[in-house]
A and B are shown apart, each in its own frame.
Chain A
Amino acid sequence: MEGTKKENTQGANAQPKGPMAKGPRGPKPKIKNPGKLFARLMRYILANYKLHVIFVVIGILVGVLANVQGTLFMQTLIDVYILPMVGEERPDFAPLAAAIFKVGAIYAVGALSTWAYNRVMVKVTQGTLRNLRDDMFTHMESLPIKYFDTHSHGDIMSVYTNDIDTLRQMISQSMPQLLSSALSVVSIFVSMLILNVPLTVVTFIMVAIMLFATKTFAGKSGKYFIAQQKDLGKVNGYIEEMMEGQKVVKVFCHEEESKKQFQELNEELFASANNANKFANMLGPVNLQLGNLSYVVCAMVGGVLALNKVGGFTLGGLASFLTFNRSFNMPINQVSQQLNSVVMALAGAERVFALLDEKPEVDQGYVTLVNARKEDGMLVESGQRTGLWAWKHFHQAEGTTDYIELTGDVVFDDVDFGYNPDKIVLHNVKMFANAGQKIAFVGSTGAGKTTITNLINRFYDIQDGKIRYDGININKIKKADLRRSLGIVLQDTHLFTNTVMENIRYGKLDATDEEVVAAAKLANADQFIRRLPEGYQTMLTGDGANLSQGQRQLLAIARAAVADPPVLILDEATSSIDTRTERLVQDGMDKLMKGRTTFVIAHRLSTVRNSDCIMVLEQGRVIERGTHDDLIAQQGRYYQLYTGKTPGLGMAAE
């Protein structure tokens, strides 16, 4: 899907996208392989609804047959039933009545069948849409962080709604219609062939012309439908970003600019939608009139043939043929109408499958985290939560399993890393944290502190060097288990639409209410929560918009506390909290951190001061290392950062 992906991060040649980018329009996109796409969609539907589809096909067949026999009856009505009775003294309506009865019965079956297959079709359609949405979401959750950092959020959202919606019409209406029209066409075609071959050829030529017209128009509209879906995604993305940042827009009186940029995107969408619909609409009238033309030509040619009695063709036969011709054009017309919705659906389907084809996070780890207990000094796996954790390391070569106790011993061994492989941001980072130690990272902004935490977590993988956790290479550890062993409080708090209680419980889904409240108390959040309108049952919406920034951070800390993880990572976790509250939180945190390895990133001395080891980062390198007292004595960068004094000089510059 060219164009949807953006290049990542600083420095790379980013293709300008997003609200303020004014990229070139570019050549009109084409669906790469409509046949293949359609086939894939069919396979997807059949995978879940094979029996249903078979039932529907049979139902359609029954419906078509019922219809056909009705048409046949129409023809025989006059000749067979009515005419004989004309002029008779006492006409016998019994046979007619019988015939009508029979036809009526078949019609009834047809109608019933129509109802039945339509109902089944609803299930197939809605079910398929639901399955697609679910599959997309599940797949999306497995994608690497990089995907989310490089795609517009609104564009992603658009796939779930706008693109899936295009499929609805196609599956529920177009496909059954296509099938029944196809069947009608075949049956009528056969009848025509029986009547007269040359005329059938003439009709066929006209049909070929109609198909050519269809291909041309459908092709054109298809192109524009793809563009339309893309533009819709862009509009979606722009709106989403602006709505999220609407407060900033207001504060900077950016409304006019905002409107102008929206107008640009809106116009583009209008252009592609207009063209798409235009060509789609035109197909109907074109085919309709071509059908009429076909009739006329047949009449003319057929007239010549009949009058000259070529091949025993009679005027009566011509009359019949013309009727067939008329009924032949109708399904062709219907097919071409439906084709439009197919084309539009393919445009949507392409984006859906593009998302489904994104590569998920690579996880080749096989070491898992299990509960354990000590038995005779040996670690044994336990089914219950014991508070003691162990890594279960299965050695394939020997077929044995090792249990290594989780102590939180983390080692960075000469690590190099860059978000972009060409631009390394961490160089030769060497660090070790013994179990239970508190390690602090300080450094000027952009030095790489958050990046380090991204690595421990395996949100991103390193380019060179090794990171070891309790002696095991973290690449060997399953990502889910690795992350479960770490509790992390991020710089940007994110809360979900749910009650306060449930948001805290996110840290440990089976936590009891008491555990949640205890965690809240530890984070010093309990007090303000109780003062909320519904206390713990207060609904948080819009990422906790109704709370202050500091309160949100307290909730994030409570969430991490309830998870009770062996290792903690705190990234500026208390930056928005006033220092008095922080002290109280700190007390709780200290209790929480006792015996746990903790990584802390902060600017405040109060947070960092009592660490076992402080790492000073500068431009991706560790330049100083030691305890607070050591570093102050060194009078190096650390000293400079936190006293504002340039080493060697006396007083701070004013």
Chain B
Amino acid sequence: MVKTILGQVKEFKKDSLVTPACMVLEVIMEMLIPLLMAAIIDNGVEKGDMAYIYKTGAVMMALALFGLLAGMLGAKYGASAATGLAKNLRAAMFNNIQSFSFANIDKFSTAGLVTRLTTDVTNIQNAYQMILRMCVRAPISMVTAMAMAFFINAKLASIYLIAVICLGFCLFLIMGKAMKYFKQIFPKYDDLNASVQENVSAIRVVKAYVREDYENDKFTKASGNIFQMFTKAENILTWNAPLMQVAVYGCILAISWLGAKMVVTDALTTGQLMSLMTYCMNILMSLMMLSMIFVMVTMSMASAERIAEVINETSSLSNPAQPVTEVADGSIVFEHVDFSYRAESEEPVLKDINLEIHAGETIGIIGGTGSAKSSLVNLISRLYDVTAGTVSVGGVDVRKYDMEALRNQVSVVLQKNVLFSGTILDNLRWGDKNATKEDCIRVCKMACAHEFIEQFPDQYETYIEQGGSNVSGGQKQRLCIARALLKKPKILILDDSTSAVDTATDSKIRQAFATEIPDTTKLIIAQRVSSVQNADKVVVMDNGRVVDFGTHEELLEKSEIYRDVYESQTGGGGDFDQQGGGR
């Protein structure tokens, strides 16, 4: 996992190495300067030697400047290394997510992915920066100070050694305990994110049912959970500071006592005693710093794991070794196809599907709610893979195609119409980014969207808000159809895409299809018989099986289900165009 994360350092390697180097220089300065400071007092001030003071002072200033330079460089490169790593991690995750199949996407929730790309990355950024800047300086500081202390007097210095070991041990215990809790926090963050997101997108439902209080309660519980977890974890960390103080004070007192004895017996000078005291602070501060680094690092371990998960996830759908890049035509064949969303499902969603569709045909698909119509068409553009059997397009098994090439030729208008924030033209160009405005207008006319777009003040430059909240449902649907048409695909799949469109418009759209894109194989999933009765053939689905397949007339004769639907829509209730709707 660490490898995965560090693998993203890439172009910031230089920065990552320069930073600790600068820190080392800074530390060296820091070690030297106190010596000079002491020298100023001992040799300069005490002896009244102004010249010495000036000379040493000048040297000190030079060293200070040098230290400053080192420090600033370290600061600059530390920042760029850490934020650079963060940038690369985000990019790596996002790019990998783009390669995910639907199955992969279903595995991580939206909120989970969002948290990983923001909060978790920030944690790593902070930890990395801390490591680069402190991780070198703290140990060097500590070791140097220890060495100096030993140099002065080994016996007393060993007190420090003992203190360091004890303190280190205690800190280690504390960290371990706290880590347990920190690990549990991130999933709770995900939950919080999800909670906010749901409320923000479903606010109309919340207000319509006057459920603000209920949602507030739900949220308070979620935030309360985070509160509890964090409090538990941080409470454990509060032991750090007092323990540190106990160690420092203990050392000071011990050294005072023992040192006094030694000074009295002339085994130690007072100057040396003072020096030892100074090193005390130094050593234990460094240890403290190390422990803080340890905390940050361990906290970010949890984040690192979550990030690595996403980076290392391989798409469940991958291109074959020698992908076919040309789609011959829009013919589709299903051979003994079974499909389940999850391998463990007992009942497959699609059972033993066998269909043969010729290029250029218009095929209607009709069936009850939940009869797996959408699942069927998802297999054609390889959004999911079959669990048994084969689906072929243009005579080739879809698994043999290069996925992008396949999907460029199979255009789907999904049931849930999603538009993105941006202008209408931006949205349309998802179908073909090089489309000219004339192309866009052409497809909008086909999709019967042109008239209403013209009526907007900004027309094609009209800005669509997130989720398309400023266009009506029917308008959204037509824009999605136009978008799909722009691709000029060999296969066009309309998954119940005209449900929010009135019948007259629906038939206009279908007419446009017939005249403008006659060679495209069109699969139309619909509820209205009128939408499919003029198709070349109609597939009738029930409960995951194809129960009938034939022309409108054939089905009226042999399919009970079809007859039933037809009559329910044309007979007593039914749909509007039965009045002389001779087509």
Contacts and interface: CB of A to CB of B under 8 A. Distances in A.
Interface string A236-259: 110111011111111111110111
Interface stretch (B300-308, B438-446, B454-462, B550-558): B454-462
A319 B504 contact: no
B256 interface: yes
A259 B118 contact: no
Given A93-B261, A115-B241, A20 B370 contact: no
Interface in A51-81: 70, 73-74, 77-78, 81
Interface residues of B, number: 189
Contacts of A480: 210, 212
A292 B60 contact: yes
B6 interface: no
A134 B71 contact: no
Contacts of B581: 643-644, 652
A34 interface: no
B91 A494 contact: no
Most buried by A among B71, B114, B129, B215: B114
B87 A281 contact: no
Per DSSP, are chain B's interface residues mostly helix, strand or loop, or mixed?
helix
Given A319-B41, A319-B46, A115 B209 contact: no
A288 interface: yes
Interface string A162-175: 10010000001000
Interface stretch (B147-155, B165-173, B226-234, B350-358): B226-234
Contact of A315 (B48, B78, B456, B576): B48
Contacts of B431: 252
Contact of A296 (B57, B196, B209, B564): B57
A307 interface: yes
A126 B238 CA distance: 13
B294 interface: no
A450 B472 contact: yes
Nearest to B406: A253
B496 interface: yes
Nearest to A654: B583
A262 to B, nearest CB: 5
A31 interface: no
A99 to B, nearest CB: 9
B457 A86 contact: no
Given A85-B260, A161-B118, A282-B76, A21 B421 contact: yes
A86 B264 contact: yes
Interface in A599-654: 603-606, 609, 632, 640-645, 651-652, 654
Contacts of B214: 506, 509
Interface stretch (A190-198, A379-387, A572-580): A572-580
Nearest to B242: A115
Given A85-B264, A483-B208, A8 B470 contact: yes
Nearest to A240: B114
B473 A278 contact: no
A232 B71 contact: no
Interface string B62-75: 00110110111011
B87 A581 contact: no
Contact of A251 (B114, B374, B414): B414
B35 interface: no
Contact of B381 (A70, A251, A273, A289): A251
A257 B68 contact: no
B234 A122 contact: yes
B581 to A, nearest CB: 7
Nearest to A87: B264
Interface string A565-589: 0000000100111111111001000
B64 A299 contact: no
A33 interface: no
Interface residues of A, number: 193
A17 interface: yes
A578 B367 contact: yes
A434 interface: no
A411 interface: no
Nearest to B192: A160
B313 interface: no
Contacts of A578: 366-369, 527, 565
A358 B92 CA distance: 36
Contacts of A134: 216, 219-220, 223
Interface string B234-251: 110011011001100100
B106 A545 contact: yes
A254 B404 CA distance: 10
Contact of B44 (A81, A103, A157, A303): A303
B568 to A, nearest CB: 5
B223 A149 contact: no
B227 A129 contact: yes
Contacts of B37: 295, 322, 326
A278 B527 CA distance: 60
B527 A160 contact: no
Nearest to A9: B470
A507 B209 contact: yes
A263 B433 contact: no
A257 B433 contact: yes
B207 A270 contact: no
Interface stretch (A138-146, A400-408, A461-469): A138-146
Given A77-B256, A126-B231, A141-B199, A248 B263 contact: no
Nearest to A113: B242
Nearest to B383: A250
Nearest to A609: B573
Most buried by A among B26, B99, B219, B408: B219
6 contacts: A74-B252, A130-B227, A148-B469, A157-B196, A257-B430, A580-B568
Given A81-B260, A450-B472, 19 more contacts: A14-B463, A20-B426, A86-B266, A114-B241, A250-B102, A281-B79, A281-B129, A296-B61, A299-B40, A300-B57, A307-B50, A494-B202, A506-B211, A542-B110, A548-B372, A603-B499, A606-B573, A641-B576, A654-B511
A-B interface, 3 closest residue pairs, ranked by CB to CB distance from nearest: A285-B71, A18-B421, A445-B474
